[in-house]
Amino acid sequence: MRNIVILNGAGISAESGLGTFRDQDGLWTKYDLEEVATPQGFARNPTLVQGFYNARRANCRGASPNAAHTALARLETEHPGEILVVTQNIDDLHERAGSRAVWHMHGEILRALCAACGHRWDAPDEMAPDDPCPACGAASTRPDVVWFGEVPYLMEEICYRLTQADLFVSIGTSGNVYPAAGFVELARGAGAATLELNLEPSDTASAFAETRQGKASQLVPDWVAGLLARAD
């Protein structure tokens, strides 16, 4: 199991106090995703959308990594092969736990993007629709997050890495949103072993060779400890 690709979603950050999307009390039970997480919603009401992400940025800054994030950082340090974390999460909890190989396919809440020139920079705590881009001056700034209807980041590179994986692990994601929900099929088709770690069986659970149910803060450290013990 030298080459491991790990996909994760909101479930890995749930115990850090950051809400999930589709569980009871999830963000999409309180907000209309069409209004706050689409380019059309942003065009209609940029103040509402910036406010939504300003609140999420504040939550992110106030949260701390949990035992699942820490275990994945340990895995990256101690595993003799390659570890890549592909996250759908826009928080920075993996980085703060010490992981370095982290690809944010849905962007990062702590970064800002200019829709006019493509420049990216560290987002201030509060973004507003008329903020000028520090590079070109256009008032076209937005959070550097991928909205519904937009293409996730790094797709070509991620798909390549999935085809090279010996093991694909999915943690804390409902398997509801493509293209991430299709990663298990791609990795399995290319010969990878597959494992799901989730509170409950996800929508794509049947595609995995093995599934384990429970909280990420327990399942992930246990899985990492078992894997590292076998590598000795």
Kindly state whether residue 193 participates in binding ligand APR, applying the rule CB under 6 A: no
Give the active site residue among 79, 104, 106, 119.
106
> Residue 1 corresponds to which tokens in the numbers above?
């199991």
Distances (CA, A) of 203 to 143, 198, 206, 228: 29, 11, 8, 29
Closer of 133 and 184 to ligand APR (Cβ): 184
Closer of 66 and 133 to ligand APR (Cβ): 66
Kindly state whether residue 65 participates in binding ligand APR, applying the rule CB under 6 A: no
Kindly state whether residue 202 participates in binding ligand APR, applying the rule CB under 6 A: yes
Closer of 10 and 133 to ligand APR (Cβ): 10
Site string for ligand APR, 144-173 (x = CB under 6 A): ----------------------------xx
Active site annotation includes 106: yes
Closer of 83 and 216 to ligand APR (Cβ): 216
Q: Computed over its alpha carbons, how large is the radius of gyration of the chain?
A: 18
Please pick, from the candidates 5, 9, 113, 221, the single residue that binds ligand APR as defined by CB under 6 A: 9
Kindly state whether residue 98 participates in binding ligand APR, applying the rule CB under 6 A: no
Q: Which residue has the tokens 């999915």?
A: 170
Site string for ligand APR, 103-142 (x = CB under 6 A): ---x------------------------------------
Which residues bind to ligand APR, rule: CB under 6 A? 9-11, 14-15, 20-23, 26, 88, 106, 172-174, 176-177, 198-200, 202, 215-216
Residues with a known catalytic role: 106
